[in-house]
Chains A and B, each alone.
Chain A
């Protein structure tokens, strides 16, 4: 991309020798610099009115000790991704750090939303962040003995000693507090004032934490003084798994990370791998991808609507089941095309698993026919319901500045007025050809998020309608022989084709060396994949930037000062999926 050159020049002019190297790969610019320079450069990038890189997309790290050609280079690298919500430009800062116990300065002063990603890096990679407000393990138990994403750590299956019994300090105050206030000890959040406030443990088994989220709530009466989410109860080590399986095999894990919007995550991963490989996808596959992703968005928002009304109304409310009824209709289509209801693995790197069956169009048209009526019915049930309005208006407020600082994406951010939607900002899969609006609101409260999501459902229907009308014919798998199997008839005549077929099936495709970061708009927000390739058929490092994980960290900000009943709705409004949070 030629237009990134001004950025390079500007940064070189401003920081001179601090920029150690500039690489371009597949249109992505990477600046390599020393860790101490990251904060000033990031601050400059954010605050310079021309550059305006106002969204920190991701913070992650790479252990480069086994990367071919970098054996003697600094062992770790911390990687930051920035994007400008105005122009859609993206740049990457990379800060290599030597040594086995590296320390880098934290970026949380600039971007409070880097808090959890940095904790995750500390937890999994063992890189310490100097000046970080709360550097603890986040995903693994606090007494975990190692940092599993380091290359010398095995994938798993080995006995890892840990203990978590009632005798742990962590649990000391639970269950003993009411009658004997003296028994209250400092519990994990050291900041909590346990002498004056009640510490309530919500989860991991709690009806409204939407999975195995645990929130430790500091209560003054029923008022929430602070909420400390504790995650990691579903941490299954996706990123470590990815390092030992082939690119095409990782697709099944993308189903299981955000398990209520698997098509969208499939799409994100496929796009990232395709970008890494540099292959083109035929138009029919692209249109079907859009249809599937939008159907999935509908299904996901339906699930959100049902469960979040359930949070406010209890399981006997009728809307919960209405939403599930409609969702079944979409799941039927997913089952029709892929054979699975949730874990579809339908969109794959290179195209689609199979073409859609003949009855697909009819089924989707059926959805298009019935859904507007249904959504209108839901709106009649809750949109103007005074009780629902009182429960949601003005609750869980985030201002636009706060949301941006906390790196929120998706409906969370759009409800504050910033129309950040990757389908518009960096269109993929031909989204630029569709006419749709990005719904925004300005209040930033629960009701605004509700309105945004309902409107998004309507927009999804519009996109599906347009896509279905312009569904081209043709293949659904890329013709590029780097990824595509040779056609059957060629196998009979060409030895080369046979060898190629054999190699692709046994080894898998091999992308060139390089690193890539690509994002799609999931129902929950920005779903990004950062892939480092070392030229083999396995990813060298794969990082998932998941929307729920980043959005969840503003729970405390939104719930503070509200009631415990609001906290439940706030958690519901983030629309978390624990697989997406913990990975």
Chain B
């Protein structure tokens, strides 16, 4: 029964993944609002259901019922296309990230990854790069100067930070010796401890590139609300705005998932071999911890200026990642 393996199971997995991601996104906003509230000595949303758990759902409902406005001065096709182009890659990133070990369900071996492909990391980089299009197109099509500035900032910021990010990834991949994310989590040959520690040294730099790539505070230059009102999404309302909003949080999830997989052993943890289902929880917990870092940064660090951000990338991050990669290569070969 090939079609079960080829179509049905991946289809089910995709559907489950998308549903989980979309609820995950919704509760990520809740998590952020609650946490920011705590950081700011406030309570945070608590009026809808217990602990305010209903607020994300209310947000979604409201967005759906909001009036659709396509301003008359926009490029209508691109205006509508923008959010769609932004959200699709954000969802696609997760296709290659293993969220748990292989499960044995209904007599079938089901690996908990939608596509167990050899080019996992490349896929992530490629798809993440595509996501920029949605933002740039949306900003351009809005025919609003704030949107345009936001879109332009996005493109240069993403392009610049993809470089050190890619180089750091190369270094990490040198250690693992594979592009397949599943094999990175469960390496075929064990990786010596000093290399694991060495990889962890790259994480602070990688985290900075992650903040910049996802456009999160303090690097939220695409939509700096203090300068550019709402940046590229100034003209977007209702569900189209919701899509952009979703994209931002999906990027956080995707970036966190990738970082967890690369640096912190993905779904692995104690007792996973006995109870494979635990892997899912470990993965979720690690991603949540990573998201916490994101939010923590946004509550405590002021935003640098846009040009300072780029200068930091080209004069500090880029050289240091090159050096890091070179040293890693030497380490891998020599030791």
- Bound-state CA distance A320–B299 (Å) is 10
- Total A-B residue pairs with C-beta atoms closer than 8 Å? 99
Residue A21 lies at the interface, judged by CB distance under 8 Å to chain B: no
The listed residue (A175, A314, A320, A565) touching B305 by CB distance below 8 A is A565
Please judge, given known A-B contacts A311-B226, A568-B227, whether A563 and B302 are in contact too, CB under 8 Å: no
Stretch of A31-39, A145-153, A385-393, A506-514 with 4 or more beta carbons under 8 angstroms from chain B: A385-393
Known: A314-B217, A318-B40, A320-B40. A388 touches B305 (CB 8 A): no
| Distance, CA A318 to CA B73, complexed state (A) | 38
Given contacts A310-B226, A390-B308, contact A177 B301 (CB under 8 A): no
Tell which of A111-119, A200-208, A280-288, A462-470 binds the partner. A200-208
- In the complex, what residues of A have CB within 8 A of residue B52's CB? none
Check if B305 sits within 8 Å of A391, measured CB to CB.
Answer: yes
Instruction: Decide yes or no: A318 and B299 within 8 Å by CB, A206-B229, A208-B226 being known contacts.
Output: yes
Whether B144 is near chain A, meaning CB under 8 Å from some CB there, is: yes
B307 contacts A by Cβ under 8 Å: yes
The verdict on A198 contacting B224 (CB below 8 Å), with A387-B304, A566-B305 known, is: no
Say yes or no: A314 contacts B41, CB within 8 Å: no
Report the separation of the CA atoms of residues A310 and B301 in the bound assembly, to the nearest whole angstrom: 11
Are A314 and B144 closer than 8 Å at their CB atoms? no
A207–B302 touching, CB < 8 Å: no
A314 touches B308 (CB 8 A): no
B292, CB-defined interface residue at 8 Å:
no
The answer to whether A387 and B143 touch across the interface, beta carbons within 8 angstroms, is no
- In the complex the two chains form, what is the Cα distance from A314 to B218 in whole Å? 8
* Distance of B157 from chain A, by nearest CB (Å): 12
Contact of A313 with B305 at beta-carbon distance under 8 Å, contacts A175-B144, A178-B143, A207-B229 already known: no
Cβ–Cβ contact A198 & B226, under 8 A: no
Interface size class of B (residues with CB under 8 A): 20 to 34
CB pair A179–B304 under 8 Å, yes or no, is no
Q: Which residues of A contact B140 (CB under 8 A)?
A: 178
- B220, CB-defined interface residue at 8 Å: yes
A317 to B299, CA, bound (A): 4
Contacting B302 at CB < 8 Å: which of A177, A179, A317?
A317
Known: A314-B225, A315-B225. A563 touches B306 (CB 8 A): yes
B229 near A178: Cβ-Cβ < 8 Å: no
Interface string of B104-143 (1 = CB under 8 A from A): 0000000000000000000000000000000000001001
Q: Closest CB-CB distance, A209 to chain B, in whole Å?
A: 10
CB pair A200–B301 under 8 Å, yes or no, is no
Decide if A321 touches B41 in the complex (CB within 8 Å): yes
A544 beta carbon closer than 8 Å to chain B: no
CB neighbors of B among A170-188 (8 A): 175-179
12 contacts between A and B (CB under 8 A): A175-B73, A201-B145, A208-B226, A316-B40, A321-B40, A387-B304, A390-B304, A390-B305, A391-B305, A391-B308, A563-B305, A563-B307
Taking Cβ atoms with an 8 Å cutoff, the residues of B that contact A are 36, 39-42, 73, 75, 140, 143-146, 148-149, 217-218, 220, 224-227, 229, 298-308
Beyond A310-B226, A314-B298: 16 further Cβ-contacts under 8 Å?
A176-B73, A178-B148, A201-B145, A207-B225, A313-B302, A314-B224, A316-B36, A317-B300, A318-B39, A318-B40, A318-B41, A322-B40, A563-B306, A563-B307, A564-B149, A568-B227
